[in-house]
Structure 1
Amino acid sequence: MDNKNVELMRGNPETAVKKLAIPIMISMLLTASYNIIDGIWITGLGQAAIAGIGFVTPIFMILNGVSVGLGSGATSSISRFVGAKNHKKASRSATHSLFIFLVASIILTIVLLVFQEPLLKLYGASGQSLSEGLKYGTPLFLGLFAFMFANGASGILRGEGDMKRAMYAVVVSVILNAVLDPIFIYVLGWGVAGAAIATIVSSICATIVILYWILIKKDTYVDVNLGNFKFNSSIARDILKVGIPASMDMFVMSIAMSLYLVFISSISGEFGIAAFTSGQRLYLFAIMPLTAIGSAVTAVVGSSFGAQNGDYISRSHKFGAKFGVIFGTCVTIILVVFATPLATIFAYTPETTHLVPEITRYLQIACLCLPLTGAGMASTFFYQGIGKGTISLGWTIVREVIFTVGATFLFGIYLGWGLLGIWIGLAVGRMLASILNYIYARYTIKGIRKTLGN
């Protein structure tokens, strides 16, 4: 039942991390372009529309985080069974993952539709920006099942090392979103709601393609048979012990972002929110390659852990961290050097050009954390690979809430440095936490190798 993807994960760990990371990287960059493309087209609707979508962003992060997190749970579980050469359990894990995605999408749809308006008001949205936020959020949350299955089912493919086909589905989805955005927003006159609907329709297409491969074509390593599905609590727990903490990662980050919005809103109102959310789109886009490297580390470490190979676990993490630092440095140089033209992408109208200097300053300061974040990201995902999702979550809390929120409050609010202090706090907090995360991961790996004797 082995295939070339499975054999790759069981082979040289450096080669596996590199080869698996590149298609994941392309997929994630393309996925992140949803937000970029939406931002470009929505700029033409004015500052209130930009701010309205910015207020929805923390909620969307929760939604996207749960889908990616549960996908990570599937990846970790399946890859560990692949490493242990247990095809039957890998297949059952994939089947249970689809069931979990369905249940989670139903629950989240209900919760987000009920609480989106109170949350937007809590973040500081009011008047026109609140109205625009609701217009964008409502269709987005109604169609969240599409994100859940697109990201989750991609996690199943990643678990068996099949990164390329997940990438192909995303390519089709992104192209479709780019075509539909201007049609729905301007031609049909749906405004910000049109951007959300375009994203949902595109995600549905990606979901259909991936589920076709898994359920109908059946040419994957895992063999998913929904007709013979019988719920097994131990399999579900194996997925959720990583999936729930990984989902909470994004929830924690959305809480942190909510606090950033509160700080920024108190400093400079709608102007600061618009500048931050525009720059944040580029930051989230830039961090995708680092997340992709981390996802590859999860799969390779999971396979190595299943095979009880401590040397491969160590090499996978170390190479992933090194790869992340190099990539993070390259991305940082691009963002700093080309900050002004990049900022102009999100402020090209006469009504929004005044945002360019502040977006530029955000990019040149806040993004300086990316090189060290690369090492920290590989370390966070390493814990998911060995099935320790709670430790991964713990480091996310340390990075985003304790260090970064603390630093933004210190520099931006307490010391009174305003928006400049917020941007400095974002960089300093993330850098310090990433250094500590890497050190602790190496300490953990040393203990694992001692236990395994290799």
Structure 2
Amino acid sequence: MENKNVKLMRGNPETAVRKLAIPIMISMILTASYNIIDGIWIAGLGEVAIAAVGFVTPIFMILNGVSVGLGNGATSSISRFIGAQDKENVNESAMHSLLIFLVASILLTIFLLLIQEPVLKLYGAKGAALTQAIQYGTPLFGGLIAFIFANGASGILRGEGDMKRAMYAVVVSVILNAIFDPIFIYTLNLKVAGAAYATILSSLISAVVILYWIVIKKDTYAEIDFKKFRFKTKMTKDILKVGIPASLDMVMMSIAVAFYLAFIAQINGDYGIAVYTSGQRLYLFVLMPLTAIGSAVTTVVGSAYGAKNGDYISRAHKYGSKLGILFGLVTTILLVLFADPLSTMFAYTPETAYLIPGIVLFLRVATLSLPLTGAGMASSFFYQGIGKGFLSLFFTILREIIFAVSLTYYFGIVLDMGLLGIWIGLALGRSIASAINYFAGRYTIKKIREDIGT
């Protein structure tokens, strides 16, 4: 009997995108709450601690981005083989993905631990902020294997449409993180390092749960049997042709954030960094529903592409884009209306209350790009679904570096508009690039349909 998740992927594309997006959305919102929860507890440690974590954020984006990116590579590969009804290669793809996760964990842990201090200094961290940034980053990067396997193994489940169990593992992980944070930060007096330990331990538990389902319990569509495993270069390339550019996606965003931090530090020092870091936590949080919709588009488009169904590819992309615009619009309205109370979550002490007006301004300006970003996200993930990972990466570079960095510099530095100019540059740059991304996606789909004749 056909797996119910696989059946959903092969059915009505609008229904599939909607039903697959909901559990991914919940999972990603909960995952994003790691940073929200950490930020709330860290706020009690003062401005320097907030700024220290802000300096680590771009490097952390690399860490998290690689884990998510490699998971996306697994999702794209598995979903395309499912669409082509090639069960043997579904199994091979899953096993090769696990091997890739292991190797990436080892290499990236060593790399990040070596570069963190010089990179933090490059971002402008110094004195107490640098010391606390290293205290936070070292355990975070040392426990990278937890992130890689938690997000990567989730990608295997997403590839076969099993979004709910990936969500369940995240629920447990987030609840544990919320419990561990105050214990590690305050009770054990580990301060900023405590937030990192709490996050790593929670992620490790999530990874163990998912790997239990895939490797031990063996009740997934992909069948894992390492006795039958034979390394195949072609399969590895199939996963990495999406996994590498999807990982570099976050690296490009991290590079962009490094520019933003440099501009902000030049304008307003630690105050500006603290404002941006706090506001960015909420921005990344509300970005999760849009990313979830995009992830669902990847799975459905991948299956349709494997089945050579041009109509389903087009409908999945168009529906995902509409859904992204809707969610982006609703989220923007809520952030603008409730910017004041939301800002107090990150500045609730007498020592940090002066940050509130700055955070409010960030939320009311920088997030205006979210509706068009929704369409752009669906389009970027569409490219991952058809195995064109480097095209997805190109549009990230276009959005975050070519447009957003250029315009933040222009409005914030050249026109001397200060932090307001930075926020305007972010909103305008991301909006323009996302619109270009959507129309490019529609053109690509037109060419695909001409090639396959559906």
**1: CA distance, partners of 2:84 / 2:162:** 18
Is the CA contact 1:74–1:93 (under 8 Å) kept in the aligned structure 2? yes
Residue of structure 2 equivalent to 1:267? 267
**CA separation in 2, counterparts of 1:443 and 1:300?**
19
TM-superposition CA deviations, 1:272-314 (whole Å, max 9, x none) = 0000000000000000000000000000000000000000000
- Is 2:368 aligned against 1:376? no
SS of equivalent residue, structure 1 residue 2: coil
- Kindly indicate whether the alpha-carbon contact (under 8 Å) linking 1:2 and 1:221 is maintained by their aligned counterparts in 2: no
CA drift of 1:214 comes to: 0.2
Q: Residue 83 of structure 2 aligns to which amino acid in structure 1?
A: G
AA matched with 1:110 = I
- Counterpart in 2 of 1:29? 29
Equivalent residue letter for 2:189 = G
Question: Could you give the per-residue CA deviations for residues 181-206 of structure 1, whole angstroms, max 9, x where no partner exists?
Answer: 00000001000000000000000100
Match in the other structure for 2:192? 192
Q: Which whole-Å CA distance do the structure 2 matches of 1:226 and 1:142 have between them? A: 27
Partner of 1:150: 150
Where does residue 116 of structure 1 map in the other structure? 116
CA distance in 2: counterparts of 1:414 and 1:226, whole angstroms: 58
Q: CA deviation at 1:225?
A: 1.3
How far apart, CA to CA, are the structure 2 residues paired with 1:153 and 1:2?
Answer: 22
Shift of 1:398: 0.4
Output the amino acid matched with 1:306: G
1:127-142 alignment, distance < 5 Å = 127-142=127-142
For 1:203 and 1:346, locate their aligned partners in 2 and report how far apart those are by CA, in whole Å.
23
Cα distance in 2 for residues equivalent to 1:124 and 1:131: 12
Divergent runs of 4+, >3 A: none
Aligned ranges for residues 334-373 of structure 1 at < 5 Å? 334-373=334-373
Correspondence for 1:204: 204
- Structure 2 matches for 1:386-401, cutoff 5 A? 386-401=386-401
Pair 1:278-2:278 in alignment: yes
Alignment-derived partner of residue 428 in structure 1? 428
* Counterparts of 2:24 and 2:227, CA distance in 1: 31
* 2:251 alignment counterpart: 251
What CA distance in whole angstroms lies between the structure 2 residues aligned with 1:228 and 1:208?
A: 23
Displacement of 1:440 in angstroms is: 0.6
Name the structure 2 match of 1:242: 242
- 1:218 is aligned to 218
**Aligned counterpart, 2:64:** 64
Q: Given the alignment of the two structures, is residue 312 of structure 1 paired with residue 327 of structure 2, yes or no?
A: no
- Contact 1:410–1:425 (CA under 8 A) maintained in structure 2: yes
Partner deviation per Cα, 1:209-228 (whole Å, 9 max, x = no partner): 00000001101000011233
Distance 2:227 2:130 in 1: 45
**Structure 1 length-normalised TM:** 1.00
Secondary structure of 1:269's counterpart equals: helix
Aligned partners of 1:399 and 1:430 also within 8 Å = yes
Is the Cα contact below 8 Å between 1:185 and 1:195 reproduced in 2? yes
Which ranges in structure 2 are unaligned for 5 or more consecutive residues? none
Which amino acid counterpart does residue 259 of structure 1 have in structure 2?
F
Q: Which amino acid aligns with 1:426?
A: L
> 2:50 aligns to what SS in structure 1?
helix
Deviation at 1:230, TM superposition (A): 1.7
1:111 is displaced (CA, Å) by 0.5
Maintained 8 Å contact 1:106/1:145: yes
Report how far residue 144 of structure 1 moved.
Answer: 0.5
Distance 2:331 2:94 in 1: 34
Q: Measure the CA separation in 1 of the matches of 2:384 and 2:390.
A: 8
Percent identical: 70
Does the 8 Å CA contact 1:80/1:304 hold for their aligned counterparts?
yes
Aligned-partner Cα distance in 2 for 1:55–1:75: 31
Aligned pairs, how many? 454
Distance in 2, Cα, partners of 1:230 & 1:64: 29
Measured against aligned partners, the alpha-carbon deviations of 1:330-379 in whole angstroms (never above 9, x if no partner) come to 11111110001101100000110000000000000000000000000000
In structure 1, give the amino acid aligned to 2:181.
D
Partner deviation per Cα, 1:207-251 (whole Å, 9 max, x = no partner) = 010000000110100001123322100000000000000000000
Partner SS state of residue 416, structure 1: coil
Any idea what the Cα deviations from partners look like across 1:367-410, whole Å, max 9, x if unmatched?
A: 00000000000000000000000100000000000000011001
Provide the C-alpha distance between the structure 2 equivalents of 1:107 and 1:340, rounded to a whole number of angstroms: 43
Match of 1:14 in 2: 14
**Corresponding residue SS for 1:397:** helix
Give 1:440's aligned residue: 440
Contact 1:73 1:239 in 2 (8 A): yes
How far apart, CA to CA, are the structure 1 residues paired with 2:36 and 2:227? 40
Q: Distance in 2 between matches of 1:91 and 1:333?
A: 44
Q: Is it true that 1:291 corresponds to 2:291 in the alignment? A: yes
How far apart are the structure 1 equivalents of 2:227 and 2:413? 57
Residue 92 of structure 2 is aligned to residue 86 of structure 1: no
Describe the SS at the equivalent of 2:221: coil
CA contact 1:267–1:419 (8 Å) conserved in 2 = yes
- State the AA in 2 paired with 1:64: N
1:46 and 1:132 mapped to 2: Cα distance? 12
Tell me the residue number matched to 1:232: 232
Tell me, in whole angstroms, the C-alpha distance in 1 between the residues paired with 2:406 and 2:443. Answer: 26
- Corresponding residue for residue 38 of structure 2: 38
Q: Displacement of 1:167 after TM fit?
A: 0.1
Q: How far off is 1:434 after superposition?
A: 0.6
TM-score (norm 2): 1.00
Q: For residue 62 of structure 1, what is the amino acid of its counterpart?
A: I
Say if 1:62 and 1:251, in contact at 8 Å, map to a contact too: yes
Cα distance in structure 1, aligned partners of 2:39 and 2:227 = 42
3-state secondary structure, aligned to 1:66: helix
Aligned to 1:107: 107
- Distance in 1 (alpha carbons) for counterparts of 2:415 and 2:226: 58
